[in-house]
A and B are shown apart, each in its own frame.
Chain A
């Protein structure tokens, strides 16, 4: 069985499939990348049994091709600052302008008159691609992050820098929140499992599995495993919120 699509969903599915195969070593399941669009195409053409997508189906042909989307998880971007930073609330546009380098002082968003230090993840990381997709967009066109943004290659790294630098702002995923840093309320909404699931919190993208027509029993059992307690635990480890009811 081939599962193909979004490189953001891929690490999560690889973990889940790895764990699943420990119980069913006879199964041959390949998890491949390629991107959301490639994954959707692969399911339509039948080269993949399951597709992975980190965005809702939007194009007309995707809707007409009788694909069934299954939302397995939500990937939320949490904006974090130093605990002493007086700023509590930012809008999505303010976050974008901060990271684009258009706003350079905390004073411009209601804080002290100090230079903003941007902390980002490296190119290719899932959290970074979610941030690019959800925040760094203006009139549907991508906006570049300011080149002076400091790059960390792990969520722990971002958290460590933000914890120690009073002027820093960074982004992490839901699983990384702790008391070392302060969570920004986006448009006044506190990110939580509830506000993520009901879409009140804006910086969320869904992780979808796609199938064409009804699931066969083998695929159905894997999907059941995705929604099991085990699957939920793996999602937590990977920093996403399970869509399990």
Chain B
């Protein structure tokens, strides 16, 4: 009896071992793609940064790659401004939405609303950009001023685009706060609003910060929608109504005809962007760990 039982289990474990190996290989291949991208982008981009000088590339104000000027300072500022603008619009809105869904809404409302909000993430970015060009840009031009293609328009569009990321992660964080925190607070005579803002929200802090950082990464990396509404002028924007160009836009706009040093400069732009997003993701991971 024991022999026929042993045989299949032996071959089963060998098969499992094989499957494990295959899965391991696949996991490695996705990581090696990342390694390939890093090596390639840095190999193409670093020589230019080195040749032009680190300070001249990062701090230079003039971008005229066909005439030998490679300053990306305006784009670094543009990226930061648009990202912060998106957070300014997106974070308060998403926090209120997730607080409502977590603390005040019926379970029925929650089960309908959450998937709907997550559906926002499935809308292609070109559609957001298109809506931005058709609706938002003329609104800004006619009622606020300027050309309408501006830091403001880009921030609003991005602020909406990061909603699903921030809402769904912070909602999970809020739901994970133990029920007895709420019960304790209510039993001490706090109102439900006081409980939500002073007890549940602080308890979910690290999850919410992670959500904000991930939303920030999404805003920083977004390209298509930003190109369509930001105006893409290479200037340091000193007003919300000024046009701006982000690092991702710079690559996407100019890659079609770039060659030689111009192409290298676009890869170098990618290097800077990569370092910025890498730092963001690391800090997000650290926050998750701390939790």
Contacts and interface: CB of A to CB of B under 8 A. Distances in A.
Interface of A: 7, 11, 33, 117, 122-126, 129, 142, 144, 147-153, 160-161, 164-165, 167-168
- Lowest 7 CB-CB distances: which A-B pairs, in order? A124-B257, A151-B232, A150-B231, A153-B253, A147-B235, A122-B253, A117-B147
A33 B259 contact: yes
B252 interface: yes
Nearest to B231: A150
B254 interface: yes
A126 B259 CA distance: 13
Contacts of A33: 259
Contacts of A117: 147
B108 interface: no
Contacts of B67: 142
B79 to A, nearest CB: 16
Given A123-B254, A153-B227, 17 more contacts: A7-B259, A33-B259, A122-B256, A123-B63, A124-B65, A124-B254, A124-B262, A129-B66, A147-B234, A147-B235, A148-B243, A149-B233, A150-B233, A151-B234, A153-B256, A164-B137, A165-B148
B232 A152 contact: yes
Nearest to A160: B133
Interface residues of B, number: 29
A65 B92 CA distance: 70
Interface in B131-161: 133, 137-138, 141, 147-149
B235 A153 contact: no
B258 A151 contact: no
B254 to A, nearest CB: 5
A224 B202 CA distance: 76
A157 to B, nearest CB: 8
Instruction: Give the one of A123, A150, A165 with max B CB within 10 A.
Output: A123
A223 to B, nearest CB: 25
Nearest to B235: A147
A80 B97 CA distance: 46
A167 B149 CA distance: 13
Contacts of A148: 233, 235, 242-243
A160 B262 CA distance: 27
A143 to B, nearest CB: 12
A151 B245 contact: yes
Contact of A151 (B137, B233, B262): B233
21 contacts: A7-B259, A117-B147, A122-B232, A122-B253, A122-B254, A122-B257, A123-B254, A124-B254, A124-B256, A124-B257, A147-B235, A150-B231, A151-B232, A151-B234, A152-B232, A153-B232, A153-B252, A153-B253, A153-B256, A165-B148, A168-B147
Contact of A124 (B66, B141, B231, B243): B66
